């Protein structure tokens, strides 16, 4: 599955966003509704993909919010929920190199927070990779089973 996530924010992006706060264009260095929506959409796509494969995600059955507006009041409770959904995915479907989830949303707005923002989206990409690997193994197992019982002609030389 193709996810469009940002994992390469730099301090220069943060500085540019700070200098252009009133820009109507999305700013890579500003963590705002665009970022919440992008991660929310990734959560929903990955959740639906897992459910279509017959895997469950305890506690992530409801869709993640992916329609934030920059004028919305994003509360500390919203931040905690946002990070908890990412954490559930990370705890269940991570790779050995997957970064940790920030402990609180405020970390994204502290100095160096752009790295934490990158980590959140990196986590979702790693989960995507893990699900893709699981899908390939399921397909390979099915194909080998079909070949073993000689269904559909099996393996021919």
pLDDT at 3: 83
Question: What parts of the chain have a pLDDT lower than 50?
Answer: none
Q: How much is the pLDDT for 50?
A: 85
CB 77 within 8 A of CB 95: no
User: Six-digit token pair at 117?
Assistant: 């923002």
Residue 92 has what pLDDT?
85
Convert the pLDDT of each residue in 66-77 to its tens digit.
999 989 998 999
Instruction: Tell me the domain boundaries of the chain.
Output: 11-151
**What sign does the CA torsion over 60, 47, 29, 34 have?**
negative
- pTM flag (> 0.95): no
Cα dihedral 16/41/69/108 (nearest 10): -40
The continuous run of DSSP H or E covering 92 comes out as helix 76-92
């Amino acid at each position: 599955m193709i996810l469009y996530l940002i994992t390469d924010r730099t301090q220069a992006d943060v500085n540019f966003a700070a200098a252009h706060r009133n820009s109507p264009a999305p700013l890579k260095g500003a963590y705002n509704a665009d970022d919440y929506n992008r991660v929310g959409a990734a959560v929903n796509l990955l959740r639906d993909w897992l459910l279509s494969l017959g895997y469950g995600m305890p506690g992530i059955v409801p869709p993640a919010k992916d329609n934030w507006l920059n004028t919305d009041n994003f509360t500390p409770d919203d931040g905690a929920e946002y990070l908890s959904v990412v954490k559930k995915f990370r705890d269940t479907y991570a790779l050995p190199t997957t970064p940790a989830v920030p402990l609180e949303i405020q970390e994204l707005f502290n100095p160096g927070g752009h790295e934490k923002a990158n980590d959140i989206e990196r986590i979702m990409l790693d989960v995507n990779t893990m699900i893709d690997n699981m899908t390939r193994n399921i397909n390979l197992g099915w194909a080998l089973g079909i070949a073993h019982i000689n269904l559909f002609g099996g393996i021919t030389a």
